[in-house]
Every structure is written in structure tokens, then in C-alpha cells.
Amino acid sequence: MNHIPVLISDLGIILAAAGLTTLLFKWLKQPLVLGYIIAGFLTGPHFTLFPNVADVKNINIWAEIGIIFLLFGLGLEFSFKKLIKVGGTAAITALVGVSTTVIAGYLIGSLLHWSAMDSLFMGGILGISSTAIIIRAFDELGLKTRRFAGIVTGVLVIEDLVAVLLLVLLSTVAVSQSFSGMAMLESLLKLGFFLMLWFLSGVFIIPSFLKRTHKLMNDETLLIVSLALCLIMVMLASKAGFSAALGAFIMGSLLSETFQGARIEHLLTPIRDFFSAIFFVSVGMLIDPKLIAEHYLPIALGVGVLLISKPFFATLGTLISGQPLKTSVRAGMSLSQIGEFSFIIATLGTSLKVTSPFLYPIAVAISVITAFTSPYMIRLSDPVQAYLTKTLPASWMTRLNQYASGAQSIRTVSDWRLLLRNYLLNIAVYSVLLLSIIFLTRRYLQPVLAGYRWGTAVTILAGSLLMTPFLWALAVRRSRHAAFGKLWLKRRFRGPLILLDALRILVAMFFVGMLVAQLLSPFMALIIPVVIIVLLAVFSKSIQTFYTRIETRFISNLNQKELMEQERRRPELAPWDAHISLFEVTAETPLIGRPLIELQLREQYGVNITMIERGSRMIVPPERSEKIYPGDILSVIGTDEQLDRFRQSLVPAGPIPSISKKLQRQEVVLRKLSLLHSSQLLGKSIRESALRERTRGIVVGIERDGARILNPDSGFRFAADDIVWIVGNARRLQVLLQEEQPVAH
């Protein structure tokens, strides 16, 4: 007689219960996660009415796999570039909301005389909102397009990253059993080092690999390769002393930046859903009704924190960031629940055996209650905002409105701040790369060559050669940042700028000395770095060529997804048929003597006058108050139809037969600018961007999401992936295009 393995029968029970409960919850229009949790409770050891799972330990193994794929899926939705787009409002709201909620959770534990570890994990559990529940609520309530919904989405992105940091910090505290500030700082520095290393190496390798093999990748192969990359990063993270979940999250976020990211996410969905279901079912299995009844007080306090404290502080954070009261209240009250990451944090405490058994059921009970209340909290935001508007003193409301309007204004960033930020970023990036090379050289190369006569010399030489392009970029490469050029023109700043360059050289010498000191004497660690820096300067051109290839590949990979999407969309668009034509104004032209603002040529004909040639003068671009006179040569941009209509208004004027020599020297051209996520123009209006002054031209069109916006208003704001068409001076446009390229300085 054949016996079914216990694991298979357990999975059958779990999936049957999960299927039935999720069907019921879909019919009730409730989150499926709650259905999985209830399915776990019904099949767990604390509920015996139905057949239950015989071996919970085996299911816990599947649950750990479920956490890996759940975090892998969240990483695919995360994307490091989203952090750049969320803006200050989301960052401030998230940090204020999470920090105060974590503190409130810790205080609850302290008030109830829990252990420090239970209190700390309670704070972590309450700190992170549920992305799935919030997005679903916005969908059902039709609020996804509202301004506050965009802020909340940004907050969720920040909270996902904070949750990953919490996992690392809580693991460190749990293992060390202490709250040492130095241990925490060491963990944060270690995390920052590995995150940057994985990001830099991942962006350099993975997109290139997927691009070169994409013709060999059918769905099956791509799925296998993606899972392999995920598990490899899981192993690397574990080797580095981090959780498996962190490795899965990092690999997901790296793959999301590739042009295959959306396809991988689609292929992974069934696997992620399967293992995620098992994970949430295992969460439900640990629900003990007796423990919940016994600990009703912390459950009530936790729900109170999420329904009162977190909305209050999240609203306060949004107000601090400069948003109006209405937007702030709506955003704050949307963040009143916990979800996926809270369960993972609770699971971490259980797996490390540092939290009490009652903490897990408390987390589940709080999650279930706040999942049901979440839509009602969002609906209540408008009445709460109306009540606050009526009850707050008029002077308070005036100050809040003034503060919000003042915070929305554009603030200029000093050249020094831009330059220092650029220098610090470069030093951090190159330091991570150089330290990694030193570690690999000492760990793997030096032991292999140690037994040979010239082993030490070869080790130093090989390590130095590997470090060469990054040492050159750190110490020798001249800064191409625009702020550096502006500051250098002022004599009083040249001394500090020279000191900054000297600091870069000293940092580079320090890393060379670090490698040499571990293999030779301290004296040689002082001499060899000087020699290497001199050689870097002598062979600068050759090294620059090699480094440029590395940098170009990195930048291309970093923006691979955007570039591929632009190429994919381009065939769907008709060719841009606007072009420049020249018209001569005669004495009979009815436009004579009238300012451009009065003529309203854009409104009437859809054309723009980009330049007026008046005798020996070139007016580029003409002001709205500029008048047209006989003999003027107008440089006009528009489509064929628009130019035909404009020409008819100039009768008997018409296109002049040839371009004047002066106009040829001016080189007024039509150029397009693709705005990537690193563009400095994002979020700015056409007027605020000062493109008119910078290019001596005008913005004549914008392509966005497959649609074209001709002659956009000066208040139009740029967004990522916009294609901006500008008519202006060729040389100035070339400078703008170079500045907008995402090149590290």
C-alpha cells in the first residue's frame, strides 16, 4: 500500500483551505491575505474541527521559501530609481511616521513590562504600513489619481526600504543581545557598503548579461535564470551576515531596472503567489485564541497606535514637508494598518527565538483589525479635515497655508552644496569599489601566490592594476561638474577647490597604502602610493579611455529600461514633422508694428517665432513684447500645414529662397532632449527650468506617454521619460544635452 508523504498531504490541506477562504474573501471584497491567515488558523494546531496539518515544521521550511519569493517580488516592484522620484514630501512623511510609530510600539512593550527585545520587535511590527491593502483600497475607492495617493505611494516605497533596514538592525540586536550604539553603527556601515557594492556590480553585470542572452531566453529559461540569480544573491547575503530576505529583495530591485524586469515580474507572479500563500497560511497557524484573549490589552493599544498615533504623526510629517492640510490629513489617515513586512519582522523574532510566543498572534490580530478599518479611515479623512479646518484658529490656518505655499516655491541650491554632494558621492562609490578589490586581492589572490618568490610583488601589481581605473577617476580625473566651473571663475574659491582635489588624491593614496601595508612594510606603504599616483597622471589618457568604456557601459545599463521603452514606443509615434522655415516681412505684411503677445501666432496658427534677424542684429529668442518690422527675417517652426496657414497671413510675403549667412552662423536648430530619472529638470515647469535663457530658444513640443503636446504652456512641468523638443542655439543646446547626460563626475 502506497503512503502519501506527510508534506504532500499537508500541502493539500493548506491549499484546499486557502482556496475556499480566498474565494469567500473575494466575494466579500476583503484582502486575500486575511483569507490565507484564516485558512492557516482553520488548519492549524489550535483548531481541530477540520483536518489539520500534521507537521508544522515542514511547512515552516516552505514559509521561509515563501518569504524569499515574497521579498523578491517586492524588490521587482521597488526599483532604486523610485527613491529618486518620491521626493522630499514622501521621505519626510515616511521617516516621521515610521520613527514615531516604532517608538510608540516600544513604549507599549515597556508599559506592559515586556522584555526589551519584545518591545523593540513590537515597534518594528507597528512601523510598516501595508502596500497591498492601501493600493487595493485606493483602487476600490477610485482615489489612485489623487495627489495624496501619489504621496502615499512614495511613502510606501520609502517604508519598504526602511523595513529592510529594520530587518538588518533587529537581526543585529537579536544576535548581540545589546543595544550598543557602536554595534548599530557598524551594522549600518556594513549594510551601506554591501548595498552599494551589490548595486554597482549588479548594474554593471546583470543588464549586460540579459541583453546579450535575450534571444536565447524564452519564458521558461528566463524564469529559471531569474530564480537562480535570486538564490545566488540570497547565498551572498547570508555569507555577508545578512538575512536571506534582504538578498532576495536586492536582486529583485536590480532586475526591476532591466528591460526584462516587467517580464520577469509577470513570470514570477504564480510562483510568488503560491509560496506567499503558504507563508501567510503558516502565519495563521500560529494564531492561538487563548493568547489573543489573554493579551487583548496590547492588541487594543497597538490598534490605537495605528488608528490615532500613526495618522497624526504621518499627517504632521506631510505638513512639515510643505503640503496643505487637506492633502496631509488624507495621506496620514491612509497609513493606518500593517501588513507583509510586519509578519516578516514577527517571523524573524520567532526564528531567532528572541521574542515571546504571544507577540506573533498579537501582530496577526492587529493586522486583521486594521485591514478591515483601513478603507473607513481613508473615507473619514475628508470629515476630519473639514472638522480641523473649522476648529483650528484662523491664525493657525493662515500660517499653515503660508507655510505650504512657501514650501512649494522653488529653492535654489548653492553651487558649493552641489559640488560637495557630488564629491562625497564619488568618494563613497570609489571607496566601496577599491575596498572590494583590496578584499578580493587579499582573500583569494594573495594565498594562491604566497608560495612563489615574486608572489607578493605580483599580488600588489595585480591589485593595483584592478584598482587603476577607479584610482584615476578618484584622484586624477578633473571635475566636469558645472558648479566647479562656476566656482573656479571666482578667485576666492580657488584655494578651497584645490584643497578638495588634494583630498581626493590623499584618499586614493590611502587605499593603495592599505593594500601595500598588509603585504609589505609601512615604509613601502608610504612610497608606492606616491609612485602609483604619478604613473596615473603620466598615463592619464590611456586610463581615461579604459575608464570611459566602463562608465559608458554602467550608465547604459543603468538606463537600459528607459532607453528600451523609448525605442519600443517610438515606432508607434508618427515622425515629428515640425521644422524651421524662414519668412521675410515686407511693407505690406499686416503684422508690422504689433508685439508678438498681441499677434498670438501660437494660438492662431500653432507656430513659434524662434528668431528675428533684423539687419545686423539677431534676436534669439524674441521677447513677447518684441514688435515685427519691415525687412525682418523670421525663423518660424511648425508643421507644413501650420506654416502654410501662417504664410497666407503674410501675403504677399513668402518663404525666402535662401538662408542668410548671418543665420547660418547662428545655427538655430531643432533638438530633442530625453528626460531620464536623473534629469535636473524633473518637476520643474518650463519657466522654472530657465531653458529659454540657457539655450536662447523655446520649448516647442513634448512627447509624453505616446501623446504629443505642441507649444506647451510655460507652466507645464517636466516628468521622467518626457521627450522635449527645443529650438535654440546649436552650441547651447549641445551643452544642455551634455549636462543632462547621467555621467558621474
596 CB-near residues (< 8 Å, 6+ apart) = 609, 622, 623, 624, 625, 626, 627, 628
* pLDDT interval class at 654 (50, 70, 90): very low
Residue 621: cis peptide before it, omega within 30 degrees of 0: yes
Q: How far apart are alpha carbons 561 and 720 in whole angstroms? A: 13
Residues of the chain with CATH 3.30.70.1450: 572-740
| Average of per-residue pLDDT across 524-547 | 86
pLDDT value of position 410 = 45
pLDDT value of position 689 = 82
Is the pLDDT at 177 greater than 80, yes or no? no
| Average of per-residue pLDDT across 44-69 | 74
Give the DSSP H or E segment for 388: helix 359-391
Is the pLDDT at 208 greater than 80, yes or no? yes
**Better pLDDT: 70 or 424:** 424
Q: How far apart are alpha carbons 137 and 374 in whole angstroms? A: 8
pLDDT tens per residue across span 106-119: 999 999 989 888 88
pLDDT value of position 672 = 77
pLDDT value of position 227 = 92
| Average of per-residue pLDDT across 25-35 | 79
* pLDDT interval class at 104 (50, 70, 90): very high
pLDDT value of position 224 = 92
Lookup: cell for 74: 517586492
* pLDDT interval class at 225 (50, 70, 90): very high
With helix as H, strand as E and coil as C, how does 671-697 read?
A: EEEECCCCCCCCCCEHHHHCHHHHHCC
Please tell me the CATH code under which domain 572-740 is placed: 3.30.70.1450
Is the pLDDT at 329 greater than 80, yes or no? yes
Residues of the chain with CATH 1.20.1530.20: 52-382
Is the pLDDT at 228 greater than 90, yes or no? yes
pLDDT tens per residue across span 660-716: 444 444 456 777 788 877 777 887 888 888 887 777 777 877 887 667 776 677 778
| Average of per-residue pLDDT across 211-230 | 88
Q: How far apart are alpha carbons 693 and 711 in whole angstroms? A: 17
- Do residues 542 and 469 make contact, with C-beta atoms less than 8 angstroms apart? no
The DSSP-derived string for 72-135 is HHHHHHH-HHHHHHHHHHHHHHHHHHHHHHHHHHHHHHHHTT--HHHHHHHHHHHH---HHHHH
Q: Residue 441, Cβ neighbours under 10 Å: how many?
A: 21
- Do residues 168 and 241 make contact, with C-beta atoms less than 8 angstroms apart? no
Q: How far apart are alpha carbons 696 and 142 in whole angstroms? A: 44
446 CB-near residues (< 8 Å, 6+ apart) = 455, 456, 459, 519
**Better pLDDT: 465 or 411:** 465
| Average of per-residue pLDDT across 234-257 | 83
pLDDT value of position 229 = 92
pTM beyond 0.85: no
SS3 state at 297: helix
* pLDDT interval class at 413 (50, 70, 90): low
pLDDT value of position 162 = 82
**Better pLDDT: 327 or 107:** 107
pLDDT value of position 188 = 73
pLDDT value of position 566 = 57
Lookup: cell for 252: 529583485
313 CB-near residues (< 8 Å, 6+ apart) = 96, 97, 100, 101, 332
What percent of the chain has a predicted confidence (pLDDT) above 70?
A: 86
CATH-assigned architecture of domain 52-382:
Up-down Bundle (1.20)
What percent of the chain has a predicted confidence (pLDDT) above 90?
A: 5
Count the residues in the chain. 745
Is the pLDDT at 446 greater than 50, yes or no? yes
Mean pLDDT (the chain) is 79
42 CB-near residues (< 8 Å, 6+ apart) = 17, 21, 49, 50, 284
